[in-house]
């Protein structure tokens, strides 16, 4: 059964996040869009929806930049839209790295644009925004034009079930409901695939806590569930299991701690790493006092069922000394060549960035920067051609050499244009 998604939504205008408290018919604001977005992402949201409410072209460009920053900052897909006047606007939203953009069907030009947008970018990236229930009767038309989902202001009760009975597209329902009972009323409808929620200013919970309540009501939502029961773990004499904690992005080992059954269950329920302190004989949520939370990305069990490997998003330092990792004291070491692809790319890229900031006489990299973008592009084109020529040669060594040259010049271009490897890997991950 497809799991129902919880999708926080906020508007963006003049660099501020605007959240509509529909129950009190008022707006409230946040000047820190990135912090707000990270909070949603880290605390159980499945996706994030951002409505561009800009009124001028200048503010629209600013909103595009902010959406791009949000996409880079969070670990969940982002849906963006709100100010579409031409195909170029659709492209701008999608080129921020957003998963999809939405077109308001109350604007005739947007409906006319839907087919062209879906043909160019793919129907999975185009949603139809329905500002009222009267547009539901046209969902078949929107589907034929290429929309893959509809976003609808929510209807509750029997009317909702009747109105959605003939809808062929998955429906994301916009609602002010933040209680499990209210959300259940429409999430249980087969046509509804998710809830787009505007959280009120004084809301103290999170998407994860709401999901746990919905789960108790029998609704299929995305939560952490262990494939192995606690009784099948092999514990140490104190009834604990050791947990190795690793950064989910760069695989750095951060710390070692222990869990009892309560800590394990709380970790699954909250998505925050919770441990059992052997010295204090009590539970502790990592980061509860320091703010250095560890958000769960995955939990794995070793072959003997006696050690857990936790891959986490680490906020701040993992070690109580303030170090990123607890394992910072080198006892013995042998020099070796690190060929981890991402690390090699990042190391070379950092050298290129350093040359850009601190020019070195005689440096070929600085020669390229000094000559400018046209020279960099000329060299990149030449190296691409060299790859094609080398690929016709049966000796693969030549191909490896030319690809390496191309990647170097590509990284010079990246540095010149302000693009990072995180940008590239993030874009690839979104595809």
pLDDT one-digit tens code per residue, 310-351: 999 999 999 999 999 999 998 988 776 666 777 788 889 999
Above pLDDT 90, what percent of the chain? 76
CB 281 within 8 A of CB 275: no
Angle, CA 307 vertex, CA 304 and CA 312 arms, to 5°: 135
Residue reference for tokens 């939203």: 93
Helix (H) or strand (E) holding 305, with range, is none
Element (H, E) at 413: helix 396-417
> CATH assignment of 341-430?
1.10.287.1080
- Cβ–Cβ < 8 Å for 174, 153: yes
Where is pLDDT greater, at 397 or 205? 397
Tokens of 409: 């010049």
Compute the Cα dihedral for 301, 222, 70, 272 and give only its sign. negative
Pairing of strands 241-247, 16-21: unpaired
Hey, is 84 helix, strand or coil? coil
Tens digits of residue pLDDT in 387-425: 999 999 888 889 999 999 999 999 999 999 999 888 888
pLDDT value of residue 146: 96
CATH of domain 5-216: 3.20.20.70
Domain ranges of the chain: 5-216, 230-314, 341-430
Task: Confirm if 33 and 196 have CB atoms less than 8 A apart.
Answer: no
User: Considering the entire predicted model, what is its pTM?
Assistant: 0.83
pLDDT digits (tens, 9 = 90+) for 138-193: 999 999 999 999 999 876 666 777 788 888 899 999 987 778 888 888 899 899 99
Do 5-216 and 341-430 agree at the fold level? no
Run of H or E residues at 417: helix 396-417
Q: What is d(CA 368, CA 377) in angstroms, rounded to the nearest whole number?
A: 10
Q: How many CA atoms lie within 13 A of 247 on its CB side?
A: 16
- 283 burial type by CB count under 10 A (0-12 exposed, 13-18 middle, 19+ buried): middle
Beta strands 126-130; 241-247: pairing state: unpaired
Nearest Cα to Cα of residue 135 among 114, 163, 175: 163
Task: Note the residue count of the chain.
Answer: 431
Q: What is the pLDDT of residue 171?
A: 94
Residues 35, 226 contacting (CB under 8 angstroms):
no
Query: In the CATH hierarchy, which fold is given to the domain comprising 230-314?
Result: Ubiquitin-like (UB roll) (3.10.20)
pLDDT averaged over every residue in the chain: 91
């Amino acid at each position: 059964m497809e799991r129902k998604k919880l999708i926080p939504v906020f508007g963006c205008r003049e660099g501020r996040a605007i959240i509509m408290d529909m129950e009190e018919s008022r707006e409230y604001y946040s000047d820190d869009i990135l912090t707000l977005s990270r909070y949603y992402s880290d605390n159980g949201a499945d996706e994030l929806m951002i409505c561009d409410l800009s009124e001028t072209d200048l503010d629209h460009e600013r909103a595009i930049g902010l959406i791009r920053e949000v996409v880079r900052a969070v670990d969940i897909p982002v849906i963006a839209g709100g100010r579409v006047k031409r195909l170029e606007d659709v492209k701008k939203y999608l080129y921020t790295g957003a998963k999809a953009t939405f077109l308001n069907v109350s604007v005739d030009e947007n409906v006319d644009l839907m087919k062209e947008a879906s043909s160019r970018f793919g129907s999975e990236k185009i949603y139809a925004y329905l500002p009222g229930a009267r547009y539901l009767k046209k969902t078949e038309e929107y589907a034929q034009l290429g929309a893959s989902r509809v976003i609808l202001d929510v209807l509750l009760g029997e009317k909702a079930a009747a109105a959605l009975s003939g809808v062929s597209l998955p429906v994301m329902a916009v609602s002010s409901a933040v209680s499990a009972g209210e959300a259940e009323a429409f999430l249980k409808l087969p046509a509804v695939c998710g809830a787009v929620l505007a959280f009120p200013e004084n809301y103290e919970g999170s998407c994860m806590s709401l999901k746990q309540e919905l789960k108790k009501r029998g609704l299929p939502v995305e939560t952490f569930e262990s494939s192995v029961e606690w009784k099948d773990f092999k514990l140490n004499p104190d009834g604990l299991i050791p947990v190795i904690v690793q950064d989910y992005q760069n695989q750095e080992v951060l710390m070692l701690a222990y869990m009892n059954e309560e800590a394990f269950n709380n970790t699954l329920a909250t998505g925050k790493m919770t441990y059992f302190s052997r010295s204090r004989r009590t539970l502790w949520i990592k980061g509860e006092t320091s703010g250095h939370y560890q958000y769960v990305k995955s939990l794995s069990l070793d072959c003997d069922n006696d050690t857990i490997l936790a891959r986490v998003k680490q906020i701040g330092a993992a070690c109580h000394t303030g170090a990123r990792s607890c394992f910072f004291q080198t006892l013995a070491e042998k020099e070796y060549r690190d060929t981890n692809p991402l690390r090699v790319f990042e190391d070379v890229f950092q050298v290129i960035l350093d040359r850009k900031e601190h020019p070195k006489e005689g440096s070929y990299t600085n020669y390229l920067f000094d000559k400018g973008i046209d020279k960099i592009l000329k060299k990149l084109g030449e190296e691409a051609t060299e790859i094609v020529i080398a690929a016709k040669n049966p000796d693969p060594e030549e191909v490896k050499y030319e690809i390496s040259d191309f990647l170097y010049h590509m990284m010079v271009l990246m540095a010149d244009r302000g693009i990072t490897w995180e940008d590239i890997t993030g874009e690839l991950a979104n595809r």
